[in-house]
Chains A and B, each alone.
Chain A
Amino acid sequence: MPLLELHNLKKYYATQKAVDDISFSIEKGNICGLLGPNGAGKTTLLRMITGIFFPDEGKIMFDGREFDPMNDIVNIGYMPEERGLYKKMKIGEQALYLARLKGLSKTDAMARIKEWFIKFEMQSWWNKKVEDLSKGMSQKLQFVTTVLHEPKLIILDEPFSGLDPVNANMIKDEIYQMAKKGATIIFSTHRMEQVEEICDHIILVNKGKKILDGTVANVKQDFKENLYKVSFARKILPEHLAIHLFEVKKKTDTELIIRRDPGYSNNDILQYFINKGLAVDSFNEILPSLNDIFIKLVEGTPSTRQFQTVTA
Chain B
Amino acid sequence: MNTQLYGSDWVVIGILILAAAALGYALLTLNQIIAPSKPSAAKAAPYESGVPEVVATKPRFTPRFYVVAMLFVVFDIEAIFIFPWAVVFDGLGLYGFLAMLAFMFLLFDGFIYAWKKGALEWA
Answer yes or no: are A and B bound together in one complex.
no
